[in-house]
Copies of this chain bind each other. A is one copy, B any other.
């Protein structure tokens, strides 16, 4: 049985094919500053959106007022997609000068219902999002704080600079955002980052700008959890294709 390495599952490709020209023609571009909301949770789903420049976060707020960052949004990311109804999360801007394309939902759907090519583009975009969210699930499952932070850094690196290594990566989100994204506390995020820095695996030119010095060791850490310490107790090695047909 071949296996899906979690390490590789996390590094999804985020570049999406541009929505068909017909869609771009109905887009309006909106600009936001840090802290502004693109839409709120429970807002009627009037638009679909795509980040053009900058970054944002998609988040929910629990009854107790605590926050959950469901996803970070970077250029080319399509979000808020779905059919009739209301947005289930809020989208809030992280960096200044964030430009967002807005596609009126009704119009998008009308076009999708009459243009097979557009329909296909949207379908592919949805599949892309599915892949990404599945990777997110496998990432959140990682047991130790250091694994999740490492996975986050690798994901950030890939989404920000692609194959370009040796680059300084700007971190548009706060430590709080990272904590709420990784399901841990700010303090733990800081502690892990400090550890990684002291070990020479990463370095900071400023708090919001990181550079990965040792990719192998970083990947080692986020893959290490898989190697047996924490979760997922059923070793397939012990039950090799037990009941496979």
Contact partners of A1 in chain B: CB under 8 A = 37, 40-41, 61, 90
Q: How far is the CB of A76 from chain B (nearest CB, A)?
A: 17
A187 (CB) vs chain B CBs: closest residue = B233
- From known contacts A6-B63, A66-B234, A119-B120, infer whether A134 and B89 are also in contact, taking CB-CB under 8 Å: yes
Tell me whether B179 and A233 are in contact (CB under 8 A): yes
Q: Decide: B82 and A131 in contact? CB cutoff 8 A.
A: yes
Residue A156 at the chain B interface, CB threshold 8 Å: no
Nearest-Cβ distance from residue A15 to partner chain B, whole angstroms: 15
Please determine whether A2 and B63 come into contact, CB atoms closer than 8 angstroms: no
Is A199 in the interface zone, CB < 8 Å from B? no
Question: B236–A61 contact, CB under 8 A?
Answer: yes
A237 at the interface (CB under 8 A from B): yes
With A61-B236, A137-B133 as contacts: A4 and B120 at CB distance below 8 Å: no
What is the minimal beta-carbon distance from A6 to any residue of chain B, in angstroms? Answer: 5
Q: A140-B137, A232-B180 are in contact. Are A227 and B120 (CB under 8 A)?
A: no
What are 27 A-B pairs with beta-carbon distances under 8 A?
A1-B40, A3-B41, A4-B42, A4-B61, A4-B88, A6-B60, A36-B244, A37-B245, A62-B227, A63-B223, A63-B226, A63-B227, A64-B225, A65-B238, A66-B230, A66-B232, A88-B134, A113-B120, A119-B119, A119-B120, A123-B123, A123-B126, A129-B130, A133-B134, A137-B140, A179-B231, A180-B232
Closest 7 pairs between A and B when the two form their complex, measured CB to CB: A35-B243, A62-B226, A66-B232, A64-B227, A126-B126, A2-B42, A133-B133
